[in-house]
A and B are shown apart, each in its own frame.
Chain A
Amino acid sequence: MTDVTVRPVVDGRLGTSALRPDGLAKTQGTFAFSGDLSADGMLWGATLRSPHPFARIRSIDLSGAWQIAGVAAVVTADDVPGKPTYGLISADQPVFARDVVRYAGEPVAAVAGDHPETCRRALAAIRVDYEVLTPLVDPELAIAGAEPIHPDGNILRHQRIVRGDQDLVGEVVVEGTYEIGMQDQAFLGLEAALAIPDPGGAGVELFVATQWLHEDLGQIAACLDLPADRVRLTLGGVGGAFGAREDISLQVHTCLLALRTGRPVRIAYSREESFYGHVHRHPARIWMRHHATRDGRLQRVEARFVLDGGAYASTSSAVLVNAITHAQGPYVCDSATVEGFATRTNNLPCGAMRGFGVVQACFAHEGQMDRLAEACGLDPVEIRLRNAMRTGDRLITGQVIADVAPVAECIRATAALPLPDEPVGGRDGDPLRLPGGAGLTADVGHIRRGIGWGVSIKNLMYSEGFDDFSTARCRLADGSVTLKFATAEVGQGFVTLAPQIARTVLGVERAVCEPIDTTIGSAGSTSASRQTWMSGGAVLGACRAVAEQVVAHAAQSWGVSTAEVELVDGVLTSPDGRQATVGELSAGRVFEATFEHHHPPTEDLDEDGQGNCHTAFAFVAHRAVVDVDVELGLVKVVQIATAQDVGRALNPLSVRGQIEGGIAQGVGLAVMEEIVQTDGRVRNASFTDYLLPTMLDMPEVVAELIEIPEPRSPLGAKGVGEPPCISSTPAVLAAIRDATGKDLRRVPVRPFDIAL
C-alpha cells in the first residue's frame, strides 16, 4: 500500500460499447466454431434418418454397414444403454426410433467411420424395412381425435384462459383468423460436436455448440446411463442459436459412438440435415375476436390458438402458454376467453425460437388492433396509445405487471422517428432499391408505399414455477479478474458484458472469462432474453462478494471497520484518507466468490389460465415502411423504426446489434422465411429455397432505446434479444396491407397472396 494513489483509468465498463473479445477472430475467420473441432485419432459420425413421415419399422439390417472397411461402430435404439428417450419438458423423443418413425428425418441409426465418405456408404448400406403409414399432418385432425401417433397422445397441451365478464359484447366487434408459417432459426454455424471418451468408457467429454450445457448434460447422462459427474461438457464455438440449440440433436449420438469405439468422434450436420436435426418455430392458426367500445377501448378478447408441435413435445407446452398468455398484447383488457392447443402431428418437431409463442400471438393481436382501429375510425397509433398497458395493469391471467411498462413511451418515441427521407426507389433512381431488386421487374410508377405498426409485450426468463437460476464465480488475483460461468455464448455477447460488470464493480482493467463448461453450476439457458438479467445478476453478485472481501481485507489492515472503508472506481479509502487500489490489495492474494442468482418464484396456471406464471416483461414498438409492387406482389421493406424498452443499455452497440438482427429475422418471417412441407415432407431444406433476407431485403433500421432502469433487474437492464423480432413482423404486414388495400392475414406473405 502506498501513500500516493492514481485513480486507474478503466475503459469498457457498463454503459460503454465495449467490443467483443472474440470479435476480431470472428471477423478474420480464425474463431474456432464447433464445426472446426478435431482430435487426434478422431472418427467421423453420421446419422441415418427416416425418409418417411410416419412408418412402422419392421426390421433393420445393419450387416451391410459392418462390411464396409473403416466402419468402427453402427448403433441403433438397441444400443442406447440408458433412458431410450429425451426431451426438455417431457422425455417423449427417442434417441433412435425403435418401432416407429414419426417424422421424415427422424434418426434411426448412427455410424462411426474413418472418413465422412465411409460413413455415407455405411448409411447407404443399412437396410430398414418400413411399413409406410398415412401421416397425420393436420393439427385440427389431431384435436378432433385422430388415432394417436404416440403413446402420450396427439395433444401436447390444451390450456384455457377465462377471465372477467364472459357475456360482454362490445359496441365494436372485429374478428379474423391468422396464419403463421414454420420459420427456421437458420443459424449459420451448423450443428457440430466432438466427443472424447474417458479410458475404459467410464465417462465422456463433449465439446458442443449448445444453449444450455447443464440441461444437455442431464439428458445425455440419463440416455447413456452414466452418473452426471462422468459427463463433462465444454461449449464449442457457437454460430448462432435462436432457440434451435435448446433441444438435444447430435449430443447423445456423438457420445454414444465415442464410448462404443473408445475414440474421439465428431458429428457435423450439413445444411440439409440441420433442417431435420433441430426444432423450428411452431406454425400456427389463430382465430381472434376483439370487443371494444365505440371510442376504441379494448374490453374483451376471444381467441383460439392451434400451434402444431410436430412429432415430439420439445417445449411445445411452454410455447403454447406463452402464446395464449400474450393474446391481449401490450393493451389493457379485463375480459378474455382463450383456448389453446399444441398438437402432435407427423410434421417436423417444433420448439423454441426467438419470440417463443409470442411471435404468433402478436401477429394475430396486431392484425386485430388494426381492424379495430379501422372499425372505430381511429389511426393505428391512436388506438394503440388509447389501450397501452402501464405498470400495475393486469394480464388476462390476472398477473399484475410489476415491471416498468413504457408502452405509450415506446409508441410515441417510434412515431417521432423520421420517416425515410428518400422517395420510392431512392433519390438516385437505383432500380436495385425497388421491390424485385436485381430482377428489374418494376419501374417507380408500379410501386405503392405503405406504413404499418406493431407493438408487443414479451415475457423475460422462464415461467410457470421454473427456477432458472444462474451461477457465476469471480476470482480476483494480482489486480486481474477471472470470471467463470456456464452461460452459453451464442453470439449475444455475454462474454463482453461479464467483464464490463467486473470492471465496473471492482474498478479493475483486466477482466477475462474462463472457458465455458460444466465445472461450475448451471447458468440456465441462453434463451428467453434472460442471460443479461440472470447471469448478469450472478456475475454482479459474485463481483460484489469479492469487493466485500477486498474491503474487509483493507479494513483489517487499516484497523478500521469494514463499514468505514469506501470502494469507488477501484480505489479503497479509509476514513483518515488512506487509499489503496484493488490491484494493490490483491497483489499476491486471491479473493474468490461464487454467486447464484434466482428470480422470484412464479406459479403454474390454474385450469382457467389464472396465475402469476411469468417473471418479467419487456415492450417494444415497430413502424414499418414498405414499397410494394402490387401487380407482381413483390415487397421491399424500406425502413423499420423502433423504440424499445431496454431498462438500461449496458452495451449500446450490442443492444443495437440485437435490434437489427431481430428485425432481420422479423422481416424474414414477414416476407420470405418458411419451411414448406407437403404431407410431412420438407420441400426446401436448403438455403437455395429457404430464403433469408439479403442486404437488398434488409431495411434501414432507425432505433431509439427507452432507458428506464428496471428496479427488479440486478443491473437495471431488460433482455433485448427477442422483442425486435416479435412486432416487426406484424408491422411489415400492416404496411403491406396499407400499400395494397388487401386483407392479408398470413406470414410469410407470398407474392401470389398479394398479386392474385
Chain B
Amino acid sequence: MEESPLHPFELHNYIPLSIGGLDISINKAVILMWVVVALAAGLMVMAGSSRKLVPGKLQSLAEMLVDFIRNIILDTMGKDGMRFFPLIASLFLFILFCNLLGLIPGSYTVTSQIVVTAVFACLVYGLSLAMGFLLHGAKFLGILVPPGTPGWLLPLMIPIELISQLARPISLAVRLFANMTAGHVILGVLFGLAISGGVMIGWLPFVFTIAMNGLEVGIAFIQAYIFTVLTCVYLGDAFHLHGHDDHAH
C-alpha cells in the first residue's frame, strides 16, 4: 500500500514502437497530448463554425480567449507582435489544457515532464534568437549590452548579460515543470494521508485534497498565463532591440 508520491509521474509503454532506434512508444502522456490537441482544436473549430454576430455560449468563450491572448501580445510586444498570434495562442491553449486535464484523477499531467516544457522553451527561445538575427543581423548581439552602459563596465556586463540570456529557456522550462510536479506531489501526499488515516482522522486531509485541487485549477491557469507572457516578452525583446520605450511600463 505504501506508494511513492512520485509514482504517478512514471510512464509505462502501452504500445512499444521504435523507428530506426528512435523510441516513439505510445504511453499515457502521448495519449493525453492527443486528447489535449483534439479538445483544444475541437473547441476552437466548433466555436468558430457558426460566426454569429451575437455569439452563443461556446463562441463567446472562444472570443474571450482570443481577446485575452490578443491583449497579452499587444501589451508586451505591441502591434507587430500580432504575427505571432497563432503560435502564442496554440502554446497557451495546449499548456492550459494539459494543466487542466492533468487535474482529473487518473489522468496524466503532460506538463509535469520536463522534456515537454523544455522543448517548448527551446522552441520559443530558438525562435526569438532566429527572429533577432534575421531582423537585426549582427547588431542583434547588442542585446548583450544594455543601453547606457559605460565602456569600462563592458567586460563585466557582457558575461552577465550572456548568462542571463542563456538562463531564460531554463527558467521558462523549469518554472512550468516544477509548478505542475510540485502541485501533484502535494495532492498525492495529502490523498495518501487520507487513505492511511482511516475514517476517523482521514477526512481532514481529504478535505485539504479537495481544497488543493481547487487551488491547482488556479495554478493551471496562472502557469499557462505566465508561460505565454514570458514567451511574448522574449520574442518582443528580439523584435525591438532596446526599443521598449514606445510601450514602456
Answer yes or no: do A and B interact: no
